[in-house]
Amino acid sequence: MLKIPKSVEYALLALRYIDKNSNECCISAKEISDRENIPYELLSKILQKLVKNKIIISQMGNKGGYIVNNQLTNYSLFDIINALEQKIQLTDCFVEKPTINDCARFENCCLRNPLSKIQDKLEIMFKQTNLAEII
């Protein structure tokens, strides 16, 4: 079953919270964690990756925290997935260099090629879906 990783879900929740609540001030990771019920340590790592990929900006100090770098329409769902170094794949054989360990049918699979076309369409859809549509 196709499923978005929890880290991507948490990133989307955090981005939504930051976007809705950062009118004139930064939002702390602790506030997001408490309000969205996201484990603080995991959220901190997610936010660091979003900062590294320039999706959000981190500001240090007493009133520090996070703000969205640009309008959310500038980023796609694919950008978030990549920023968090995640992959969304239909089957186990769509790893970067699949082997028989990924799927016992790998060498004689009749579904891999047709499913790869669907995988490509999913990737296009993720690239075309901007964050503003989600949050």
pLDDT tens-digit readout, 43-55: 999 999 999 999 9
Amino acid symbol at 66: Y
Q: Rounded CA gap, 65 and 8, in Å? A: 20
* Interval 58-104: pLDDT, tens: 988 787 899 888 888 889 999 999 999 988 887 777 777 777 776 77
> What CA–CA distance (Å, rounded) separates 119 from 122?
5
Per-residue pLDDT at 113 exceeds 90: no
Cβ neighbours, 10 Å, residue 57? 15
Average pLDDT of every residue of the chain: 88
Residue 1 has pLDDT above 70, yes or no: no
In CATH, 6-134 is 3.40.50.620: no
Q: Is the pLDDT of residue 16 over 70?
A: yes
